[in-house]
Structure 1
Amino acid sequence: MTVQKTVENAVQAKKEIEDLVTQGYTHDEIYVFAHDKKRGDHITDALDTEKAGMKEQGFLDSMKNMFSSRGDELRSKMEGAGLSKEEAATAEEELDQGKLVIVAKK
């Protein structure tokens, strides 16, 4: 089961992650996405969540992302974390507005 949440900032993200953990998700099953790569990395590290990488996307998609735009990379990573193409596209629009997207996948 995949759950998606959109929040405004890291404080709200922390609360949503705590709620997901109480629902039975582990930190390894929770991903936080931000449009700015550094912001996303800082939040992921601070909140001890997983980074979507080769395991979620596969080798070829990971390599392709090295040459893709940030939006394409984010959509691919969100799909790897469990969102459909349509959900990932909608979530990426939220990221464009400076929001954070949280995806939890069992």
Structure 2
Amino acid sequence: MNDDEAVRAIEKLKIRVNTENIYVITHNDGHTKRVSERTDANTVGVNETGFGVSIKNIFRNKGDELRANLQEVGFSEREAQHLESQLDKGAVIVAATETPEGVTIET
């Protein structure tokens, strides 16, 4: 998604999903923060990854860090690899944890 699509998707999700369970991930920390601030969505941090993964992320390259973060919010290793390649192309990933069955995002 681009920024505007991500914002629209997050606003739709907020109707059915607790905001605490909505995350935004981009390839650039500043970009992630800007989208998060526009929408009140969360970013993946120590609370989600735990202290051990957060320390490991300090020493990882950006791709490894992003894949680890994606896995921490529920994606499989294969899904995380695919999504990280999309992040490399400038995509914005919106992830929701603990969603009611049947909730989908259409942009």
Residue pairs, 1:27-38, within 5 angstroms: 27-38=19-30
Bigger proportion of residues as helix: 2
1:4 aligns with none
TM-score by length of 1: 0.86
Aligned residue-pair number: 98
Percent identity (aligned): 33
- CA contact 2:23–2:42 (8 Å) conserved in 1: yes
Alignment RMSD, CA only?
Answer: 1.0
SS in structure 2 opposite 1:102? strand
Per-residue CA distance 1:58-82 (angstroms, 9 max, x = gap) = 2111100011111111111111111
SS in structure 2 opposite 1:49? coil
Bigger proportion of residues as strand: 1
- Any unmatched runs of 5+ in structure 2? 99-107
Among 60, 68, 80, which residue is 1:68 paired with? Answer: 60
- Any unmatched runs of 5+ in structure 1? 1-6
2:49 aligns with 57
Runs of 4+ deviating beyond 4 Å: none
Among 25, 34, 45, which residue is 2:17 paired with? Answer: 25
1:14 aligns with 7
Q: Within the alignment, does 1:46 sit opposite 2:24 as a pair?
A: no
TM-score by length of 2: 0.86
Q: Which amino acid aligns with 2:38?
A: A
1:82 aligns with 74
**Greater relative contact order (CA < 8 Å, ≥ 6 in sequence):** 1
